[in-house]
Amino acid sequence: MILLIGATSIGLILALLALGVYLSFRIFNFPDITADGSITLGAAVTATLLAHHWAPAVATLAGFAAGMVAGTITGLLHTKFKINELLSGILVMTALYSVNLHIMGKSNVPLLNESTLASQAEQVASYLFRGPADLNVLGWPVSIRDFAVLSGVLALVVLVGLLLYLFFQTNLGTAMRATGDNPQMIRALGVSVDYILILGLALSNGLIALAGSLLAQYQGFADVQMGIGMVVWGLASVIIGESLVGGRRIGLLIVGAVMGSILFRQLVAIALRWGLNPNDLKLITAGFVFVALVAPALLRKFKSAPAKPAAA
């Protein structure tokens, strides 16, 4: 149970990563590798500010803003300097590694004794429930910290998901979706495709950095290596989510990305519990994304291929 709660909390936090990846990969069809760097950037900025005793909410917002700056730079590299999409992301991601080290001043910033959003949530919860260290949820003892963090993260992700959904219904958000769908058309309707792409990448990386910021506060440290492979994890969540909800409607896909992220983390937790070597995790994730990307096309081919006459 504790395992599942932990996995769900991480899954919810990384749902923000999944939403960011959904925005760049699916809305714009832009394979944005910046994510690996921007999730660490969010963690680094927030952790450093927390270590300097800033208010957790402000430190978290600063992490979000830093991610937006990173996304803007990737967007500028691609649109203004005509650098290939993947390469723009790789350049910014690589540069961010040094930037993150500079921000943190060392490769790892612990937050165990700092006030974070997690510790604040715990305080609120213990005030509300007045005392007991453990809560009884459906017969399981759950520590008040886990419970507080889980509900706090859930509330935040629901809020972000809802805001994102509402954003996509506004004039600007509709134009953003159309930019990914048919850039020629939206240009003919007077929208600067470059501007919208930069804005979208800023938003995407802001969300991803927010995930990093929350992850650092949840696990109690920021580490310069923590972003490696995150794009693929986010993509895995998005793909799982798409197969969970099926439809193409934007609201469903947002819910799907969140659900996909949670399910993915739970699967990972269970697999690790069963004795999967943690070192193999990224290999298996990459393999999974490969299969998920290739399988639909293969299945179609398989179905449409004329049935071969049975061998005599």
Partner 1 sequence: MLEIANITKTFHPGTPNEVRALRDVSLRLEAGSFLIIIGTNGSGKSTLLNAVAGTFLVDEGQIGLAGHSITRWSEHQRAKLIGRVFQNPFSGTAPNMSIAENLALAARRGQPRGLGWGLTRKLRQELQARIRTLNMGLESRIDNPIGTLSGGQRQALTLLMASWLKPELLLLDEHTAALDPKSADQVIRLTHEIIQRDRLTTLMVTHSMQQAVNLGNRIVMMHRGRVLHDLQGPERARVRPEDLLKRFDEVRRREQLDPAVADMLQKNYV
Contact residues for partner 1, defined by CB under 8 A: 167, 169-175, 177-178, 181-182, 184-193, 248
- Residue 184 burial by Cβ neighbours in a 10 Å radius (0-12, 13-18, 19+): exposed
The residue among 98 and 170 lying less far from partner 1, judged by its C-beta, is: 170
> How far apart are the C-alpha atoms of 21 and 29, rounded to whole Å?
10
- Which CB, 33 or 196, lies closer to partner 1? 196
Whether residue 49 contacts residue 303, with contact meaning beta carbons closer than 8 Å, is answered with no
Q: Between 108 and 182, name the residue whose CB sits nearer to partner 1.
A: 182
CB of 191 to partner 1, least distance (A): 6
Distance in Å, CB of 157 to partner 1, minimum: 21
Smallest distance, partner 1 to C-beta of residue 306, A = 27
**Strand partners of residue 91:** none
Residue 40 vs 179, nearer CB to partner 1: 179
Number of other residues whose CB lies within 10 A of the CB of residue 86: 13
Sequence-ordered list of residues with C-beta below 8 angstroms from that of 150, at least 6 positions apart, any chain: 5, 8, 9, 12
Phi, psi of 226 (to 5 degrees): -65, -15
For 309, the 3-state DSSP assignment is: coil
Smallest distance, partner 1 to C-beta of residue 108, A: 39
User: Token pair of 195, please?
Assistant: 């501007």
Of residues 139 and 190, the one with the C-beta less far from partner 1: 190
Handedness of CA 210, 213, 219, 222 (dihedral sign): positive
Nearer to partner 1, 67 or 180 (CB): 180
**In whole angstroms, what is the distance from residue 280 CA to residue 303 CA?**
33
Question: Considering the complex, what minimum distance in angstroms separates the CB of residue 22 from partner 1?
Answer: 14
Closer CB to partner 1, residue 145 or residue 177?
177
Residue 295 has phi, psi (to 5 degrees) of -55, -50
Q: DSSP for 283-301?
A: HHHHHHHHHHHHHHHHHHH
List CB contacts of 103: < 8 A, sequence separation 6 or more. Answer: 41, 44, 45, 48
- C-alpha R_g of the chain: 21
Residue 11 C-beta: closest distance to partner 1, Å = 27
User: What SS3 class is residue 4?
Assistant: helix
CB of 188 to partner 1, least distance (A): 5
Shortest Cβ distance from residue 195 to partner 1 (Å)? 9
Closer CB to partner 1, 195 or 290, in the complex: 195
